[in-house]
Amino acid sequence: MEDQRIVKIGCASGFWGDTNTAAFQLVHLSDINYLVFDYLSEITMSIMAKAMMTNPEHGYALDFVSRVMTPLLKKISDKKIKVISNAGGVNPLACRDALQKVLEAQGLDLKIAVVLGDDLMLQQAELKTQNIKEMFSGEDLPSQLASCNAYLGAVPIRDALDQGADIVITGRVVDSAVVLAPLLHEYQWSLEDYDKLSQGALAGHIIECGAQCTGGNFTDWRLVQGFDNMGFPIVEVKADASFIVTKPKGTGGLVSVATVAEQVVYEIGNPQAYLLPDVTADFSQVKLEQVGEDRVLVIGAKGRAPTQQYKVSATYPDGYRVLVSFLIAGREAPEKAHVIADAILNKCERVLALRSVPPFLEKSVEILGIESTYGANAQPINSREVVVKIAVKHMFKEACMFFASEIAQASTGMAPALAGIVGGRPKASPVIKLFSFLVDKSKLSVVIDINGQRQNIQIPSGCSDQSFNTVAVGEVAQFTGKEIEVPLVEIAHARSGDKGNHSNIGVIARQPEYLPWIRANLTEEKVKEYMQHVLDPEKSKVICYEITGFNALNFMLENALGGGGIASLRIDPQGKAFAQQLLDMPVKIPASLKSF
């Protein structure tokens, strides 16, 4: 008899620092079976590693225990909701111990399992003998690492649930694993049923960034009501792996085909080869259908065997940085801003040279308020109020501190109306860079720990053959010279994200009829030209992928973030505004299309 159950999974966190109110909302206002949290990013791992060096009992998301779980544990226990979270960071056992104390204090009997095996810091010496290269830049493994963690998959979490765990705490796992795992447990899907695994991973991918699929960051943001009470996402998954994306009733936000489509394209590269530890997912044929208010049905993900390797993200210290912002007001504000910024940097480097100290490794000056993030696409603005943002990087912390100390003099000794330093006097902070590489799955020992009892987990070995048939480019419209010009936003919506130093911009046609014209206007060459102000002139390229299932294109902008994450000196180190910039790009369409 066919399994008629529906497993409901709610995600209460898209990153470390997301609202602590989301878990309360999902626990009290819905009937979910699983509550999952995604806390980790490359930057987060390095912050947690630094915290653990200072205090061996830290290194995890402290607020997961103190602010989120502590007030909700009784309700979670009463409603028999199971919890899965990667809040363990670089110290999942300490996270477990802290949570166990709270359970005991409240007299609750919930079984906690911990997934171990992602942390490779103790294997640094062995790794250095393996001629490891950075998977994007080809650089050698740094001599000193701050963190080093493999992206584990869903299998160990599934096994912990199979053994009766009520709460599973992990270190580094792929974001979608916290959703795929309970589906593997509940429906006992075969680990070789790759289409189901791909659908389960897609469910996780859609909700892992919290309210980003329920109206957050949505292009048509004016359609979204209730930003002050955003609904957090729930997936309702059937045994056949089809699922509906929704949110608790009575909450703000919007779940539509468009909001879900934007999240599907978020932070992906080739949609046919989304590499995960448990499956190589193909999202190119995914279909989305509005089946009710704030209810979107998702089907069509396909899958192939996963690779034989885990991706590993290591972080390492690479000098220091300091960032300062200050307001300049009055007439000719932009001109004054440039003169003052140049003067400060020139003075600092001249003094450093006199002291036989090398110049700054990197410098960044951005004048905010005159569309500087748009590069050559900026529209002329006669602004009488700008914010100057200057950032520098140096191997010596003292050089950064010297720069920071020289800002104040500009308020009395340079052009007029430097009205205040935003955020007070700046402080130097370490630059943490990302180093990504691959490691054979057979080299890792993945373990679950339940009450101190440890068990090795068998992980499928994966497949070396990752060949697939490329999606053919669809119809490309032909220009006749009679077209009208409109901004891209009139025929498309878009979402951008980051992966290390790369950024992607997913562009979704508002109507199927628009897609041939989007292809004609947004060639790889034209997108590269329009976004050249963020691209590395020597290393960058733009690659376009087809997503035929919901009429979209995904543009991968390689080396577009100035180092990305905490290594970048830019105001937008994660490419969050790239989609908004591209949506302003002028495109040519027939006047007849405006009637759609």
**What is the strand order of the sheet 302-304 is part of?**
274-275, 280-282, 302-304
Residue 253 has pLDDT above 80, yes or no: yes
Closest CA to 99 of 74, 64, 72: 64
**Are 77 and 200 part of one and the same domain?**
yes
Q: Is residue 464 part of a domain?
A: no
Q: How far is CA 146 from CA 59, 86, 244, in A?
A: 12, 19, 40
CB 10 within 8 A of CB 233: yes
Q: Is residue 452 part of a domain?
A: no
pLDDT at site 388: 96
CB 531 within 8 A of CB 560: yes
Q: For residue 16, which phi and psi values (nearest 5 degrees)?
A: -75, 115
Cα 507 from Cα 528, distance rounded (Å): 15
Residue 1 has pLDDT above 70, yes or no: no
pLDDT at site 465: 87
CB 369 within 8 A of CB 385: yes
Residue 300 has pLDDT above 70, yes or no: yes
User: 566: which DSSP letter?
Assistant: G
Give the Cβ contact number of residue 442 at 10 Å: 11
pLDDT at site 29: 97
Token pair 């960032």 in the structure block, residue: 323
| Helix/strand/coil for 258 | helix
pLDDT greater at residue 560 or residue 43 = 560
The C-alpha angle 534, 535, 536, rounded to 5 degrees, equals: 130
CATH of the domain at 380: 3.30.70.100
Cα 300 from Cα 292, distance rounded (Å): 19
**Are 97 and 242 part of one and the same domain?**
yes
7 beta partners: 237
**Are 208 and 171 part of one and the same domain?**
yes
Q: Is residue 137 part of a domain?
A: no
Band of pLDDT at residue 596, cut at 50, 70 and 90: very low
Cα 391 from Cα 534, distance rounded (Å): 16
| Helix/strand/coil for 252 | strand
Q: Is residue 124 part of a domain?
A: no
Instruction: Give the CA-trace dihedral at 478, 481, 484, 489, to 10 degrees.
Output: 40
Give the Cβ contact number of residue 538 at 10 Å: 6
Least confident of 32-46, 235-249, 282-296, 547-561: 32-46
Closest CA to 12 of 45, 34, 31: 34
Residue 257 has pLDDT above 50, yes or no: yes
Structure tokens that stand for 249 in this block: 């009733």
**Are 204 and 264 part of one and the same domain?**
yes
Residue type, 139: E
Residues 6+ apart with CB under 8 A from 344: 390, 403, 406, 407, 410
CB-count exposure of residue 63 (10 Å: 0-12, 13-18, 19+): middle
Cα 324 from Cα 305, distance rounded (Å): 48
Give the Cβ contact number of residue 79 at 10 Å: 15
Sign of CA dihedral 576, 548, 203, 192: negative
Structure tokens that stand for 512 in this block: 């199927």
- Average pLDDT on 108-130 reads 94
β strands within 395-479, DSSP E: 418-422, 429-440, 447-450, 453-456
**Are 266 and 351 part of one and the same domain?**
no
Number of domains in the chain: 3
Cα 351 from Cα 359, distance rounded (Å): 10
Q: Is residue 201 part of a domain?
A: yes
Q: State pLDDT tens for residues 370-421.
A: 999 999 999 988 899 999 999 999 999 999 999 999 998 999 999 999 988 8
What is the SS3 assignment for 33-45? CEEEECCCCHHHH
Cα 66 from Cα 57, distance rounded (Å): 14
Q: Which residue, 254, 280, 305, sits at the end of a domain?
A: 305
**Are 377 and 294 part of one and the same domain?**
no
Sign of CA dihedral 122, 125, 126, 132: positive
pLDDT at site 594: 74
Give helix then strand counts, H and E, for the chain. 16, 26
Backbone dihedral region for residue 36 (phi beyond 0: left; psi -120 to 50: alpha; all else: beta): beta
pLDDT at site 471: 86
Cα 88 from Cα 61, distance rounded (Å): 7
Average pLDDT over the chain, rounded to whole? Answer: 95
CB 214 within 8 A of CB 253: yes
**Are 518 and 378 part of one and the same domain?**
no
Q: Which residue range forms the structural domain that includes residue 382?
A: 319-431
Least confident of 123-127, 181-185, 301-305: 123-127
Residue 582 has pLDDT above 90, yes or no: yes
- Average pLDDT on 196-213 reads 98
Q: Is residue 194 part of a domain?
A: yes
Structure tokens that stand for 540 in this block: 């960058």
**Are 268 and 326 part of one and the same domain?**
no
Closest CA to 118 of 174, 202, 65: 174
Q: How far is CA 12 from CA 29, 145, 509, in A?
A: 13, 31, 30
**Are 88 and 216 part of one and the same domain?**
yes
CB 507 within 8 A of CB 522: yes
Exposure b/e, 557-570, CB count within 10 A at least 16 = b:
bbbbbbbbbbbbbb
pLDDT at site 595: 55
Q: Which residue, 280, 305, 330, sits at the end of a domain?
A: 305
- Average pLDDT on 480-496 reads 97
Q: Which residue, 407, 431, 455, sits at the end of a domain?
A: 431
Closest CA to 136 of 555, 560, 437, 505: 437
**Are 397 and 426 part of one and the same domain?**
yes
Cα 549 from Cα 538, distance rounded (Å): 34
Instruction: Give the CA-trace dihedral at 26, 28, 29, 35, to 10 degrees.
Output: 20
Q: Is residue 441 part of a domain?
A: no
**Are 301 and 364 part of one and the same domain?**
no
Q: Is residue 133 part of a domain?
A: no
**Are 268 and 342 part of one and the same domain?**
no
Q: State pLDDT tens for residues 317-326.
A: 899 999 999 9
Give the N- to C-terminal CA distance of the chain in Å, as an integer.
46
